[in-house]
A and B are shown apart, each in its own frame.
Chain A
Amino acid sequence: GQNIDQPTEMTATEGAIVQINCTYQTSGFNGLFWYQQHAGEAPTFLSYNVLDGLEEKGRFSSFLSRSKGYSYLLLKELQMKDSASYLCAVMDSNYQLIWGAGTKLIIKP
């Protein structure tokens, strides 16, 4: 079966750095997405990785290792507004998104 694993909840301090991990087992791979979702709102796109390595976009970076079936989202200089759920999703061989359950990130002052 297809499976995406990520921690249920993480807590970090404002101004700090946090890394959210995601491991996956899917039938085929056409890229991995990270989305941010605030409570009661739809997901918003953060990043896309299809090749191994690190993609940096401002305070957010995303890393992929296809051989390990592993990705992480790195958030730097955390702000209170970063409190949200972070969803990892993998596009399988049918170009369908397989979603993780999401990681709820709590930022404390």
Chain B
Amino acid sequence: GAVVSQHPSWVICKSGTSVKIECRSLDFQATTMFWYRQFPKQSLMLMATSNEGSKATYEQGVEKDKFLINHASLTLSTLTVTSAHPEDSSFYICSARDPAVSYNEQFFGPGTRLTVL
């Protein structure tokens, strides 16, 4: 099956710093990747849809200047949390759509737990 990796698995940073999270599709080319955020005991919240070679589409209420998304290749998308604050602490999960799978299943990375001190 399709495999998606994320790096790092967890990160602790100081308030005001920036953090970059990588999402890679390991055995397929993903033209579309998704970035989610999940707070404790809540469901997944879609932040943005990332399309290779074009600008990401952000969901309402998500600041595009704070959460920078780059999808420079068919196997890599990055999310940079700029000037992170404690309220940005969350579980960030990426997923990728494999065009070879007919029913548009999203394959999820293992997630990145961000703690901002």
Interface residue ranges, A against B (CB under 8 Å): 30-31, 33, 40-45, 48, 50, 87, 91, 95-97, 99-102
Q: Complex: how many Å from CA A42 to CA B43? A: 11
Output the nearest chain A residue to B1 by Cβ-Cβ distance. Answer: A45
Least CB separation from B34: chain A residue: A97
Given known contacts A41-B110, A42-B93, A99 and B43 CB-to-CB distance under 8 angstroms? yes
Say yes or no: B43 contacts A102, CB within 8 Å: yes
Task: Tell whether, in the assembled complex, residue A91 and residue B113 are in contact, meaning their CB atoms are under 8 Å apart.
Answer: no
Indicate if the CB atoms of A99 and B44 lie closer than 8 Å. yes
Q: Which residues of B contact A97 (CB under 8 A)?
A: 34, 46, 106
Name A's interface SS: loop
- What's the count of A-B pairs with C-beta under 8 Å? 40
Alpha-carbon gap, A50 to B105, bound state (A)? 12
Q: How far apart are B103's CB and chain A's nearest CB, in angstroms?
A: 5
A48 engages B43 (CB within 8 Å): no
Min CB gap B99→A, angstroms: 12
User: Which residue on A lies nearest to B101, using beta carbons?
Assistant: A48
Within 8 A of A (CB), among B41-56: 42-46, 49
